[in-house]
Structure 1
Amino acid sequence: MRIFLATVAFSFLVVFTVKVTAQELHKDEIVVIKGEKYISHQVRTGETVYSISKKYKVDQAVLKVHNPKVVNGLSIGDILKIPYVEGVNISESQVLQKGSPDGFTTHKIKSRNETPYFIAKQYGITVEELYAYNTGVRKYKKGVKVKIPFWNEVKQPVAIEKTEKQLLEAPETIKHVVVSGETLYGLSKKYKVSEHEILTINPKARNLKAGMTIYIPLKNEVVAETKPVPVAKEVAVSYFEHIIESGESMWGITRRYGVSENELKALNPILETGFPAGAVIRIPVSETEKNVAKPLNEAAFKKHLVEKGETLYGLSKKYNLSIPEIQKYNPVLENRNLVYGETILIPEQPDEIFEQIVQNNKADSTRLVEEYYEVELPTEIPSTCLPVQKGMLSDKTYNIVLFLPLFLEINDTLNREDLVLDTMSLFTAEEVEIAQDTTIELEERKELFKQFYGGSENFVQFYEGVLLAIDSLQKAGVNICLNVFDTQRKADSIRQYVFTNEFLATDLIIGPIYERVQREVAQIAAKNRIPIISPLASQSEITKSNSSYFQVNPTREYLAVQTAEMVAEEYYNSNFIVVKTKNYSGTPEGQLVDLFREKFVNSGFMSDNFGVNFTIYDFENEGSFGLRRIMSKTKENVVYIPSSNEGELSVAISNVNNLADDFSITLIGSNRFPNFSSIQVDHYHNLKLKYIAPYWIEYTNPSTIKFIEKFKTNFNTEPDNFGAQGYDVTMYFMTALTAFGNDFDDCLPYLHIDQVQGNYHFEKVTQFGGYMNQGVSVIAYTRDYRVERKRIKGQPRLMVER
């Protein structure tokens, strides 16, 4: 008997070795190797290390020990050696199989906008399939050719051939009608079955839509009525889902959510081989209960317990609230999705209470309503970010350097007046006497100023704003020494100073304005750990590599992402129309069209009856006649015109405006729109223009009013955006410097000061780079001719416990 068993074991070993080498296995088999039982498994389409480990009830680490190559990623057709676990019945492990492709087509990437996610969607395959059959492709960039697999006939399990009657009568399945917001992952967890098992019976469930009827394999235990339970405080970790979007990186996600790369890879094996756009990954959340917002008025809210598979979009529809409204009272949701079992605050709307508030306090009704809904989100300040006590630095003098292109000599030449005898009466006797003693040339007081050189007037205003901030700080007891340098546009204009020991004693550098002048200064600042502030430039490569660099003006790319996010949050159930005035391929405006589409797809409401309709209208060739035909009477019509040409925008906006009396229309624009003089402001109000702006002055704010009055008193002119920027930058960073010391970067989230036009929130751009401000405003024009800031994006609201 022993000899027979040994022979059998040897036979299995030989067979297994041959099959591994030839990779001809097409089904699971149990083999014995050196006395241990294993399952030989051939990798199928769509499988991951995680799904295989769950299917065969083995730990992922154990799977990797026996199959070291899986660390580099799975390839369709690979043979895996899986330790056999008692109770695993491989004969019942049905999976959706396509088998080997019937052939391949070739796709050549035409632009950087064609991500793996979009290519897969275009050809109706998964991202995993695209990667599996293009293992030699390292980067998906313009000009690269990729293979696209296709199947003439996908073989499905016999179960899908059953009639609806048979399925309903079959004891092993139950009927489920998909509701808005549900996902395949959520359903698999709700019913405790695998996604593969659902897809086996319902192949169309890969693209779930509200109202769709699917059939769920029923397990022995009853799970259909599973209800969520509140997350206990002892629970250390729970998860939410994140869809990887174009342009996101592993480092960016780890920074955004405060998790390590190893944690992410452990939960999401697909990340072992790349970071594919479109993939759904799980993000761990620690101590969920600790971050729940607490209402000051319990009667103002109902509490919603999050169920499996629920999304912000689904809650928004369920409670007839916008996503920003939900986020407003649940600040943690501004940076992540829902977590199963957590409690969400949903504002009640007691009309009778509001009517009473408005009637009794009409002048102050807005403030009273806000107080009615006030919530707290306690946040503990790290000990390293506790503000320095007053008096500790009272003897310290802060050395500040300001680099600005003031063009003093050119402006002096442009505005000089020759002195003549008959103008001497314009000067006092004291002034004439001083002039004679010091040989100072006198200038007329009348017509003293003619013009500014170039845009130097803006930088003079910025300088004046800096002076007002320093004056306020000095009155508060801060000692400041300000050194101002006229850089013009030349790097060598300041080179002599920046290489001195005096410069190395600097505590803070503001400017230079232009990147070519900044480079040398930024290098010295980085070596000596001196914070350098770029107050105006929006595009700079320095931010990516200099950890001491702070970019105040967000990039155009960031504003575009925030615009797409704002539109997806507020108009996911709209009639979205792209009015094409010319070929926008490859332009920044065209890239925003792709961002809109991607955001809508990720929301799960793309082309849904209850979701968004996405239409590209060829205005260039069709003119205005067809616009009325694609407008909706029942949905908000959201219009975006992908052009930066003022003339094209003016014509298109005028034609869309002609429909504003018959349809509800929202125009999506940019912060450049108010500067287009040829476009009537009435059109912006009729079309409810909405855009993302990096700056916004709230003229009703008491601190803003005080700043404007002080500016007018000192400089006899109204401050513009540059004056406000100079004031904000100086007050913000000097306050950080005095409160936290020179290494203030990690403590900026806990710095709260009133700003005239800014809403700063700085985040690292790259792992070894600097910081960029991500606080932006949503600006809206209303039909009653008001322009309002609706909300602030990118700036977490922290209620700090001290």
Structure 2
Amino acid sequence: MKFSQPLIIVFFFLAFSIGANAQQLKENELVVIKGEKYILHQVRTGETMYSITQRFNVDSNELVAHNPELSDGLKIGEILKIPYREEADLSEKPIYQKGDPSKFIFHTISSRKETPYFIAKQYGITVEEIYAYNPEVQRFRKGVKLRIPRWEAAEDQVDKTEQFPAAEKPLEQDDGDQLIKHEVAQGETLYSISKKYNVSQSEILFYNPGAKDLKAGSIIYLPQTEQTVAEETDRPDEDISQFQDDVQWPDESEGFDAESISGKYFTHTIVSGETLWGISQKYNVDEDELKSLNPVLESGFPAGVSIKIPVEEQELASPEPKNEEAFIRHNVAQGETLFGLATKYNISIPEIRKFNPALENRNLVLGETILIPRKPDEEIATFMKEKEKDSVFVASEEPEFDTDYYEVELPAEIPDYCLPAISESFVSQVYDVALFLPFYVYANDTLNREIIMPDTTQMNDLAFSDNPLIDELPEETDTLIEQELTQEMFHSFYRNSEDFLQFYEGVLLAIDSLEQEGMNIRLHVFDTQQNPDSIRKFIYSEEFLETDLIIGPVYSQVQQQVSEISAKNRIPMVSPLASQSADLQSNPYLFQINPSRDYLAEKTAEFIAEEYFNSNFIVFEAGDQNNADAERVVELTKERLYQSGYWGQQQGVNFSVYDFNSEGPFGFGRILSRTKENVVFVPSLNEGEISVALSNINNRADDYSITLIGFNRYEQFSSIDLAYYFNLKLHYIDPYWIDYKDPATIQFINKFKANFHTEPDNFGAQGYDVAFYFLNALKNYGKHFEACLPYMRTNLVQGNYKFEKVSPFGGYMNKGVSVINYQRDYDVVRKRIIGKNRIAQQ
């Protein structure tokens, strides 16, 4: 039995249903709704979010605000309500008037060379059309099957002489007898249907492109599996009691649908600033599924509410220790938390997560088994002896868990499509890389040229000498014309161009390393200065559109135009230095290396809550100048400490605010504790205020155990005595850390000095890391590498990259940061890494 005709109906269901309304809609009709002017625009074949925002001069976030359905993606035939701008282009675009396809054919990607551009050229269509009719495809890789739209008039436009693989048979000739028909019931979601029939959501979308917008009563077609047949024939709906002992179902009185979940979940307490989309991305869960599990989310996303997050069975796999005696196997009981386990076993939450990497990104699941490292007896004895030495409490040093004694084997979880290519095919490919940096070549040239004025007393002798610096005197003259002469003499670098020169040198070292492995790289370097005009003539050329990777620009006013080309042509672009890239929310191909200040504040609060939830926490206010980042740390810390369950308890956290201006230096000692660690945070980034605060806090460091929490910008404060940082055991979150004892770091420094005769600074290391990381991504996974970055192994000098998407239509920000600690023995160490990719822990 064939389903070819019904499949065609499914493909065009959305387009036809909207087409009826479109007959009454003029092209880009201007209307007034509640006093505001809007353009009603019907999405045409080939259009993208980027092309629409550019054509109508509207921001993508504003477009989504007026059309919430866009959060599920752009759909051909959909009618959008676009805020009117006078400069908007309301003319018809003939390129979009192709109408609906007459049929589809299948194409299976056979190699990495088949990029979207390659396939579009093969079939005579646009790249946008490939993405529009394959919404479930997140990454082009070998084995992925694509739908290729065909128009009757366009059939003869494909060049039959090109040597491309033959297209597969048309959709209407596919094996329809392997599909089953399903009528969508009220309340069903894409997720619940995928679970019911044991097929992936991407498979459902492949056969039913309009299934992202499910409606009760609509018909979809699903691939038939052996388990599907068994469930349909052997498991009646009423026979579910036999599974009750094996599956933990949520209480249905709370509004949970037992048929739509796997039964395993953990809880997450919403923190201020979090969004439904952000949580769905963080835990890789569909938004509809979250709402199904948590009905409270139907009306909003309130901070402080605990919600249930489903977890897949494979996520519960426990790592295996090589030495059983080194660990306790703990089965998670009802109501247990990471805070409780840390207290029970007298270790920190990060130490638990270190040996249970699944917990790096989630909380505990009832019934799972986790590993708790045992402290050696002698360490416990030392700890107790130090604690009882006198009346002053001294925090013990953390036990050393990095030895072979605590080695564990972690299960590998690398998808097949993210296994690096083992062939040498990349050797024959040339990778074009564009590097945009503000070298200020002309300004440096002018600055380092010296004007030489010849000595007039010697002019007659010079005039008749063979000095090449003097022009030949004109005939019949008795007066020597003085001429300005110049020569190059280095004085200094213009502005901060020396930093960018170091960055460039680091890039060159990374390219050299990869070329030695056989990679063929062609580097194009552009001096951006701070002026977009300096690069405009290059970025709009046809040659530039063939670029495989863009690094830079640095400044936002130059970055914008390059970012537009990156988004339109799907070229990965790296913002290497800015922490607030203006285009990060609108360019899905932009990668920001520096985490935002807001993210650093969030991670600082998370670090305090996890490591010092049983401490004496003090906010030391030393001035009147408020700083938004510092104040946010205070609010988030208070929120997270309260959520820990230890707020106000005897063994829990004490939270105090000390106003130095009103109480003076002598009142501070009254709120310090002799039995708990005193954790102090100064909510300021003013160097003068911090200097005064640390001077007074340090006066108490000999009598109390004090830990100072700060920011990475403390390193820039030259007037503050570094001894304060060591005495107060300063901790802060930083995206960068260089281990000068690491052999790889030593090798990098020696190579840098040998090639450029100078020590590399942070900019040199940053240039190396950025180029080495993203060129490896190109080599291993091709141009669309974003899905495989979590599984890539790279040894970087100072970075720890973990990229996460920032918004539905935005790019990726690095969320890999480190906890840096100044120790009392005057050593500075990286205490741990936050946001480490799981593959890196294997």
State the match for 1:380 in structure 2.
413
Q: Secondary structure at the match of 1:393?
A: helix
State the match for 2:168 in structure 1.
none
Contact 1:695 1:777 in 2 (8 A): yes
Contact 1:381 1:800 in 2 (8 A): no
Which has the higher mean CA deviation after the structures are superposed, 579-588 or 275-284? 579-588
Contact 1:577 1:615 in 2 (8 A): yes
Q: Within 2, Cα distance between the matches of 1:635 and 1:458? A: 44
- The one-letter amino acid paired with 1:644 is L
- The one-letter amino acid paired with 2:496 is G
Q: Within 2, Cα distance between the matches of 1:503 and 1:271? A: 46
Q: Secondary structure at the match of 1:578?
A: strand
Q: Within 1, Cα distance between the matches of 2:468 and 2:377? A: 74
| Distance apart, 1:315 and its partner CA | 0.1
Q: Deviation digits for residues 355-379 of structure 1, max 9, x if unmatched?
A: 9xxxxxxxxxx99952211122213
Q: 1:190 to 1:760 in 2, by over 3 A?
A: closer
State the match for 1:280 in structure 2.
306
Q: Within 2, Cα distance between the matches of 1:452 and 1:442? A: 18
State the match for 1:401 in structure 2.
434
- The one-letter amino acid paired with 1:375 is V
State the match for 1:783 in structure 2.
824
| Distance apart, 1:647 and its partner CA | 0.4
State the match for 1:597 in structure 2.
638
Contact 1:376 1:799 in 2 (8 A): no
Which has the higher mean CA deviation after the structures are superposed, 649-658 or 596-605? 596-605
- Say which of 321, 341, 344 aligns to 1:318: 344
Does residue 697 (structure 1) correspond to residue 738 (structure 2)? The answer is yes
- Say which of 679, 684, 704 aligns to 2:720: 679
Contact 2:440 2:497 in 1 (8 A): yes
| Distance apart, 1:236 and its partner CA | 4.5
- The one-letter amino acid paired with 1:772 is M
| Distance apart, 1:667 and its partner CA | 0.5
State the match for 2:176 in structure 1.
none
| Distance apart, 1:526 and its partner CA | 0.8
Q: Within 2, Cα distance between the matches of 1:297 and 1:434? A: 81
| Distance apart, 1:582 and its partner CA | 3.0
| Distance apart, 1:242 and its partner CA | 0.6
State the match for 2:550 in structure 1.
509
- The one-letter amino acid paired with 1:337 is N
Same amino acid, percent of matched pairs: 57
Structure 2: segments with no counterpart, 5+ residues? 1-183, 189-247, 255-260, 382-398, 456-465, 471-484
User: Under a length normalisation based on structure 1, what TM-score does the superposition of the two structures give?
Assistant: 0.66
| Distance apart, 1:638 and its partner CA | 0.4
| Distance apart, 1:351 and its partner CA | 3.9
| Distance apart, 1:668 and its partner CA | 0.4
Alignment of 1:530-609 (within 5 A): 530-583=571-624, 587-609=628-650
Q: Deviation digits for residues 273-312 of structure 1, max 9, x if unmatched?
A: 1111111101111115653222122221110010000000
Q: Within 2, Cα distance between the matches of 1:375 and 1:332? A: 14
State the match for 2:264 in structure 1.
238
- The one-letter amino acid paired with 2:356 is N
Contact 1:238 1:288 in 2 (8 A): no
Contact 1:250 1:275 in 2 (8 A): yes
Query: Number of residue pairs matched?
Result: 554
Contact 1:244 1:277 in 2 (8 A): yes
Q: Within 1, Cα distance between the matches of 2:418 and 2:562? A: 28
Q: Deviation digits for residues 171-195 of structure 1, max 9, x if unmatched?
A: xxxxxxxxxxxxxxxxxx9999999
Q: 1:564 to 1:305 in 2, by over 3 A?
A: same
Q: Deviation digits for residues 91-130 of structure 1, max 9, x if unmatched?
A: xxxxxxxxxxxxxxxxxxxxxxxxxxxxxxxxxxxxxxxx
Q: Deviation digits for residues 485-541 of structure 1, max 9, x if unmatched?
A: 100001111001000001001000000001111111101111111000000000123
Q: Secondary structure at the match of 1:389?
A: coil
Q: Deviation digits for residues 575-603 of structure 1, max 9, x if unmatched?
A: 00001123466722112110110111111
- The one-letter amino acid paired with 1:241 is T
Alignment of 1:324-473 (within 5 A): 324-351=350-377, 370-418=403-451, 448-473=489-514
Contact 1:354 1:369 in 2 (8 A): no
Does residue 496 (structure 1) correspond to residue 537 (structure 2)? The answer is yes
Contact 1:380 1:800 in 2 (8 A): no
| Distance apart, 1:354 and its partner CA | 12
Which has the higher mean CA deviation after the structures are superposed, 411-420 or 388-397? 411-420
User: Pairwise CA RMSD of aligned residues?
Assistant: 3.0
State the match for 1:729 in structure 2.
770
Q: Within 2, Cα distance between the matches of 1:630 and 1:574? A: 12
- Say which of 645, 666, 669 aligns to 2:710: 669
- The one-letter amino acid paired with 2:331 is L
- The one-letter amino acid paired with 1:303 is R
Q: Within 1, Cα distance between the matches of 2:265 and 2:339? A: 18
- Say which of 641, 644, 652 aligns to 1:611: 652
Q: Secondary structure at the match of 1:642?
A: coil
Contact 2:315 2:358 in 1 (8 A): no
State the match for 1:763 in structure 2.
804
Q: Secondary structure at the match of 1:380?
A: coil
Contact 1:584 1:642 in 2 (8 A): no
Q: Secondary structure at the match of 1:543?
A: coil
Q: Within 2, Cα distance between the matches of 1:191 and 1:769? A: 35
Q: 1:369 to 1:652 in 2, by over 3 A?
A: closer
Q: 1:660 to 1:504 in 2, by over 3 A?
A: same
Q: 1:584 to 1:293 in 2, by over 3 A?
A: farther
Q: Within 2, Cα distance between the matches of 1:191 and 1:284? A: 11
Contact 1:465 1:727 in 2 (8 A): yes
Structure 1: segments with no counterpart, 5+ residues? 1-60, 66-188, 196-234, 356-365, 423-431
Contact 1:190 1:308 in 2 (8 A): no
Contact 1:775 1:794 in 2 (8 A): yes
| Distance apart, 1:416 and its partner CA | 1.8
User: Under a length normalisation based on structure 2, what TM-score does the superposition of the two structures give?
Assistant: 0.63
| Distance apart, 1:797 and its partner CA | 2.8
- Say which of 283, 288, 294 aligns to 1:268: 294
Which has the higher mean CA deviation after the structures are superposed, 516-525 or 379-388? 379-388
Contact 2:413 2:839 in 1 (8 A): no
Q: Secondary structure at the match of 1:321?
A: coil
- The one-letter amino acid paired with 2:620 is V
Q: Within 2, Cα distance between the matches of 1:194 and 1:435? A: 95
State the match for 1:487 in structure 2.
528
Contact 1:568 1:596 in 2 (8 A): yes
Q: Within 2, Cα distance between the matches of 1:689 and 1:367? A: 20
Q: Deviation digits for residues 151-204 of structure 1, max 9, x if unmatched?
A: xxxxxxxxxxxxxxxxxxxxxxxxxxxxxxxxxxxxxx9999999xxxxxxxxx
Q: 1:301 to 1:510 in 2, by over 3 A?
A: same
Q: Within 2, Cα distance between the matches of 1:599 and 1:583? A: 25
Q: Deviation digits for residues 657-700 of structure 1, max 9, x if unmatched?
A: 00000000000000011111111010110100000001011111
| Distance apart, 1:349 and its partner CA | 2.4
State the match for 1:719 in structure 2.
760
- Say which of 325, 335, 351 aligns to 1:309: 335
Q: 1:799 to 1:532 in 2, by over 3 A?
A: closer
Q: Deviation digits for residues 611-666 of structure 1, max 9, x if unmatched?
A: 11111111122111110000000000000001111001000110000000000000
Contact 2:615 2:678 in 1 (8 A): yes
| Distance apart, 1:752 and its partner CA | 1.0
Q: 1:629 to 1:496 in 2, by over 3 A?
A: same
Q: Secondary structure at the match of 1:789?
A: strand
Q: 1:296 to 1:420 in 2, by over 3 A?
A: farther
| Distance apart, 1:406 and its partner CA | 0.4
| Distance apart, 1:64 and its partner CA | 8.8
Q: Within 2, Cα distance between the matches of 1:397 and 1:482? A: 10
Q: Within 2, Cα distance between the matches of 1:787 and 1:303? A: 34
